[in-house]
Every structure is written in C-alpha cells, then in structure tokens.
Amino acid sequence: MKFISSSENQVIKLARSLHLKKYRDQENLFLAEGRRLVEEALALPDRIVALFIREELAGEFADRQDFACYVIDDKLLKHISMTETPQGMAAILRKPDWNLTALTAADSFLVLLNHLADPGNLGSIMRSCWALEVDGLLLTPDCVDPFNPKVVRSTMGAIFHLPLIEAVSDRQLDDLQAHGFELIATGLENAMDYYDIDLRGKKILVLGSEASGIDPALQRRCSQTARIPINPSVDSLNVAAACAIITAEAWRQRRT
C-alpha cells in the first residue's frame, strides 16, 4: 500500500484522464467511484488496476496483494472524481472483453440501442437488463460511451456483469440475422402490443432515443414493432422505462 499526496503523481494523472473518452479508449480502462460500486468491482480483482482509498479505510485492504492500493486525502479523491461528494473510494478498472459470437451461440435475448445519448438512461437500461437476465446489450456507434463515469455510477454494478458490445456494425447485424436472430423494433406505426409478441428464441429488441427514434435502415431490418399501451393523454414513456417493461415481459415468457 502506498501513500500519494501530489496531483502530479502519474497514477493520479491516469485516473483524472479517464474522465475523457479519448483516454478511456486509448488505455482500455475506466473509472469507478463510490464505495458500493467499488465493492462490487472487488469481487472481480483481476479487473482492478488501482484502488484509491481514504486513510481510515487502509486497514480493510492491508492484506490485499492482488492489485495496487493507494491512500489519498479528500482533496485528491475529489480531484480524480466526477462527483461533488466522493464516498471515500475510487478505482481504475480494465474494460471487460465480451465476445459477440459467444453471446449469440444460444437462443439469446439481446437489446440493441440506437442513438441513445443520455448517460442516465443508458445506466438505467443496463441495470434493468442485468436484473431481467438479458443475454447481452448491443450499442450502435452513435450511443453514449457506456464507460462514461456517469453511466458507470448509474448502472449500480451492472457494468461488471452485463455482456456489452459497443459500435455494432451493419456487418455484425447481417451475421446475427443470418444466424436466425429476429429484430423487433419499438414504436407506434404498424405496431402490436408488446405482450402479444413472441419474445422467446433468438430475438433482438431495438430501442431508439425519444428524440429521434430508430434509424430507418435499422427499422427496415425489424420484422415486427412492439408498442406499450399507455394513457393516451401521455405523450411517451422514457426509453429506460420502456426497455424495462418489455424486457420484463421477455423474461416472463422465456421462463415459462
């Protein structure tokens, strides 16, 4: 265990740089903040590059030899964090390496997100997908970075467990469809109530942003469109809520 007191320390500089996507991609690392999230990461010690803690927590980690542990003060902790009130812990973590082929080997239920730009929505969707046993989450290239610290915090640990494939290409979608995956859009035009659609077998639920919906080219890949019946005086549901509702139905169908 080492003590760091300077913001010029190279490990501190690395942690601070991970606020930016450029450096997260370059280093293949991301930052997790807060005790609950970091404790979730501690169950996967091979992912941890560096742990930062306050001095009063040092005794809890004195025997850990499987990753680098640094004691820093509140000023440095705030310096490397994006939250106004850090909770005494932060960690630099390796990004997980998920394989699309492994995800699609069975009759998987996947969720594909298109144009999703809000970090809170993505974090909530990841949390719901993890809770409802979605087999994997796919993101088109224009989505918010899932390793953005705001997204990571809002996943409540799902970032460590939910298989995730970023920047899914048209070629990968071609391969998925060639292997029998059916894409189901969400929307209102020519749509069926979501609970009347068979969500068993090889299925991919496609959701777009509330502002722009699903790309026309991606919509054309979809064989069906699911809608959620709601109070007609309400304009629409938040995309994260819509995802949770439909994936809950998929979970129900696939368990029975």
What is the DSSP secondary-structure string of 58-79?
A: GGGGTT--SSEEEE--HHHHHH
Burial class (CB in 10 A: 0-12, 13-18, 19+), 46: exposed
The overall average pLDDT reported for the chain is 93
Where does the pLDDT of residue 199 fall: very low under 50, low under 70, confident under 90, or very high at 90 and above?
A: very high
194 with 161: CB under 8 angstroms? no
Rounded to an integer, what distance in angstroms lies between the CA atom of residue 46 and that of residue 64?
12
Q: Which residue has the higher pLDDT, 217 or 212?
A: 217
Cα 78–chain centre separation: 24
CA distance 91 to 31: 6
Q: Residue 179 pLDDT > 80, yes or no?
A: yes
Least confident of 99-108, 152-161, 198-207: 99-108
Phi then psi dihedrals of residue 143, to 5 deg: -80, 160
The Cα–Cα gap between 236 and 247 comes to 17
Cβ 139 vs Cβ 163: under 8 Å: no
**Least confident range of 13-22, 77-86, 112-121, 224-233:** 77-86
pLDDT tens, residue by residue, 32-58 = 998 889 999 999 989 999 999 998 888
Q: Which domains does the chain have, with CATH numbers?
A: 2-94 (3.30.1330.30), 100-255 (3.40.1280.10)
Torsion 197-203-209-213 (CA) sign: negative
Indicate if the pLDDT at residue 85 is higher than 80: no
pLDDT, position 202: 97
Alpha-carbon gap, residue 95 to 198, rounded angstroms = 34
Distance (Å, rounded) from C-alpha 141 to C-alpha 181?
20
- In this structure, the number of other CB atoms found within 10 A of the CB of residue 252 comes to 12
Kindly tell me if the per-residue pLDDT of 153 is higher than 90.
yes
pLDDT at 159 over 80: yes
Q: How far apart are CA 65 and CA 1, in angstroms?
A: 9
- Give the number of other Cβ atoms within 10 Å of residue 62's Cβ: 8
